[in-house]
Structure 1
Amino acid sequence: MMKYPDAYIRYLVHFHGDRDYFECHEILEEYWKELGKPQDPVWVGLIQLAVALYHQRRGNFAGGMKMMASAIRNLETTRASVRQLGLDDRKLLALLRQRLAGLEQNQPYTSLNLPFSDEQLLLACSDLCRQNGMTFGQPSDESNRFLLHKHTLRDRSGVISERLNSLKNKHGQS
């Protein structure tokens, strides 16, 4: 199996295990920022895909459409990178276009599995899900309020504290 970034593996485990799309976004966004310039838009596309599904699951179809359309554009322009990440680019883009059409019709969320082309990657992610108490490919738990509204319910005290310290330092305060 080709060596994949750990952040990508964690993204796939959350994407297919607990369906925590907010966590998928956080994991890959941090990785993408660490990469610096130039940044491969494949990561942006995968982040946008997770955000699109997060929005759709919450009934925010406009936000879901916007993110899904952007994800498709980014993944369309990085098909070779998608293939290098062990995914079938042709099937993935067809699946995302189908999901976008559903979003345009305000179709409710259903769980989505990415089309793997690397069987070893699929097995590794499935094993990691099992090790973490998740079932690979299980449907989203739509009764989990924290999963559905994580952006408003998560603990932000560390981020807020860091921002305040940054502002104080910027203004010469201690």
Structure 2
Amino acid sequence: MVQYPEAYVRYLIHFHTDRDYFECHEVLEEFWKEHPEDARSELWVGLIQLAVAMYHERRGNCKGAVKMLSSSFNKLIEQGDVSVLGLNPDRLSKLMKQRLQSYENRAEDAVYRDLELPFMDLQLLKTCRERAGEDWNAPSRMNVPELVHKHIMRDRTQVIAARAAEMKKRAERSL
């Protein structure tokens, strides 16, 4: 059986259960930053961008969704091989192309649709389903502002403090 990073499995579970695309981004970005030499680095970035695209689309930011999905498509399909991550590249390519085309024809009041990642590694799918339980492939909860608008509503105290500390260090080094 292929071993996948725990962060990737958590990404997949978030992607298909609570649809917390912001958390998908956070989980995989942390792993990516901690493993800069990973041979799959560009694939991780592509998956991060895919989650961000879904987050933007669900919030009605079609322009942001197109930008992120296009970049994700480039990394995952045109330059990468998602089969090493247990995903079906042909089916993912088709789904992403359809999504991009739907953005072009999208009306302002279009209804958001979840995206299901096409698994090729059935053991990975089984693992994710078992860990997710009955929440697997649950629909997005569009009526939960804390999920849909997470980047605005989250507690940023630690982020602000870390940035202030970093700015202070830079100022001290420049003296």
The question of a shared fold, defined as TM-score above 0.5 by the shorter chain, is answered with yes
For 1:89 and 1:71, the matched residues in 2 are separated by 13
Q: Is the 8 A contact 2:42 2:75 kept in 1?
A: yes
Aligned to 2:29: 29
Q: Does 1:73 align with 2:66?
A: no
For each residue in 1:142-164, what CA deviation from the matched residue of structure 2 results, as whole angstroms up to 9, or x when unmatched? Answer: 00111100000011101111111
Q: CA deviation at 1:77?
A: 3.4
Query: Does 1:127 find its partner at 2:130?
Result: yes
Match of 1:147 in 2: 147
8 A Cα contact 1:59 1:108, kept in partner: no
| 8 A Cα contact 1:56 1:108, kept in partner | no
Which amino acid is the alignment partner of residue 77 of structure 2?
Answer: E
- TM-score, length-normalised on structure 1? 0.91
**Cα deviation, residue 78, structure 1:** 4.3
Point out where structure 2 has 5 or more consecutive residues left out of the alignment: none
Identity across matched positions, percent: 47
Segments of 5+ residues of structure 1 without an aligned counterpart are: none
The answer as to 2:162 corresponding to 1:162 is yes
> Structure 1 runs of 4+ off > 4 angstroms?
none
- Could you tell me which amino acid in structure 2 is paired with residue 49 of structure 1? L
Measured after TM superposition, the shift of residue 37 of structure 1 is 4.0
Q: CA RMSD in A?
A: 1.6
Rounded Cα–Cα distance in structure 2 between residues aligned with 1:24 and 1:159: 18
Q: Match for 1:46: what amino acid?
A: L
For residues 105 and 36 of structure 2, the distance between their equivalents in structure 1, rounded to whole angstroms, comes to 38
Distance 2:11 2:18 in 1: 11
**Post-superposition CA distance 1:91-144 (Å, at most 9, x none):** 0111011011111222432111100011111111011112xxx61111101001
Q: Give the equivalent residue in structure 1 for 2:50.
A: 49
Q: Which residue of 1 aligns with 2:172?
A: 172
| Correspondence list, 1:68-107, <5 A | 68-80=69-81, 82-106=82-106, 107=110
Counterpart CA distance in 2 for 1:72 and 1:108 is 22
CA separation in 2, counterparts of 1:124 and 1:154?
30
How far apart are residue 171 of structure 1 and its match? 2.4
Q: How far is the alpha carbon of 1:72 from its aligned partner?
A: 0.6
Q: Residue type of the partner of 2:83?
A: R
Q: What is the CA distance between 1:55 and its match in structure 2?
A: 0.5
Deviation at 1:79, TM superposition (A): 4.1
